[in-house]
């Protein structure tokens, strides 16, 4: 099972970086598997620490992929890292094992600290739709544009029926990114 989270990491110089990551549990440890190259990967190897933030503010997923928004952070309690202010809960992690791989190394973490900040308010289909489109947008250059258009047509239904303002904003940022990508492809084809 994979949980979609916002991972905060710190560079060697102490600069925070946030990125959406799917995480798994394996033998009591948390497994994070970044594709190379990745700033998150560099940071995790440099500091040995990570914070996993569980949030229902899907603008953070869409915004961190599309360069929109600034997401307030505060110092973590037990590890060298930062917590997303909008997290409903977070886990502070310490790197305990690395299995290197040319494409996608596996990083195993021990959970050092857990905090809950706000209750889970139930499932929302528009939030799930934003996460789905965010995953596609993070792989935009690897996917055929027809597949992305098909998925958007289907996911749009949940947005129209169940989105609030945050979900609409997040959705629009992702749609804009897809439209820009299409315009680039058309430009290349005409050149
Ligand atoms: C929901 C979601 C889950 C993701 N999970 C992963 C993952 O497990 N591994 C990965 O390499 N990228 C994953 N991505 C893509 C990264 O967030 C994205 O490529 C990001 O820019 C990482 O690169 P960076 O570390 O250089 O910022 C995911 C994206 C989304 C939207």
- Condensed to tens digits (0 to 9), the pLDDT of residues 174-188 reads 999 999 999 998 888
**CB-ligand 1 contact for 105 (6 Å cutoff):** no
> pTM of the predicted model, to two decimals?
0.96
> How high is the pLDDT of residue 188?
81
Q: Is the pLDDT of residue 50 over 80?
A: yes
Which of 4, 15, 17, 20 has most ligand 1 atoms within 8 Å of CB, for mutation? 20
> How high is the pLDDT of residue 116?
98
- Residue range 142-153: average pLDDT? 96
Domain ranges of the chain: 3-116, 125-190
**CB-ligand 1 contact for 131 (6 Å cutoff):** yes
- Residue range 49-66: average pLDDT? 98
Intrachain domains 3-116 and 125-190 with the same fold: no
CATH of domain 125-190: 1.20.58.290
Q: What is the dihedral of CA 158, 160, 165, 167, to 10 degrees?
A: 30
The class of domain 3-116 in CATH terms is mainly beta
Q: Tell me how far apart the alpha carbons of residues 142 and 50 are, in angstroms, rounded to a whole number.
A: 28
Q: Tell me how far apart the alpha carbons of residues 189 and 176 are, in angstroms, rounded to a whole number.
A: 20
- Residue range 23-44: average pLDDT? 97
Mark 136-170 as b/e (b = at least 16 C-beta within 10 Å). bbbebeeeeeeebeebbeebbebbeeebeebbebb
Confidence class for position 189, pLDDT limits 50, 70, 90: confident
């Amino acid at each position: 099972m994979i949980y979609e989270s916002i991972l905060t990491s710190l560079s060697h110089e102490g600069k925070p970086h946030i990125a959406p990551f799917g995480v798994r549990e394996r033998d009591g440890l948390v497994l994070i598997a970044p594709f190379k190259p990745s700033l998150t990967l560099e940071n995790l190897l440099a500091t040995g620490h990570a914070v996993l933030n569980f949030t229902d503010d899907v603008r953070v997923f869409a915004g961190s992929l599309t360069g929109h928004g600034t997401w307030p952070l505060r110092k973590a309690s037990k590890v060298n890292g930062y917590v997303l202010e909008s997290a409903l809960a977070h886990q502070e992690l310490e790197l305990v094992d690395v299995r290197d791989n040319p494409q996608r190394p596996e990083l195993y973490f021990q959970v050092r600290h857990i905090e809950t900040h706000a209750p889970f308010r139930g499932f929302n289909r528009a939030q799930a739709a934003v996460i789905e489109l965010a995953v596609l947008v993070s792989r935009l250059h690897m996917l055929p544009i027809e597949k992305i258009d098909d998925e958007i047509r289907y996911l749009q239904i949940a947005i129209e029926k169940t989105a609030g303002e945050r979900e609409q904003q997040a959705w629009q940022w992702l749609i804009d990114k897809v439209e820009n990508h299409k315009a680039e492809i058309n430009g290349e084809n005409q050149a």
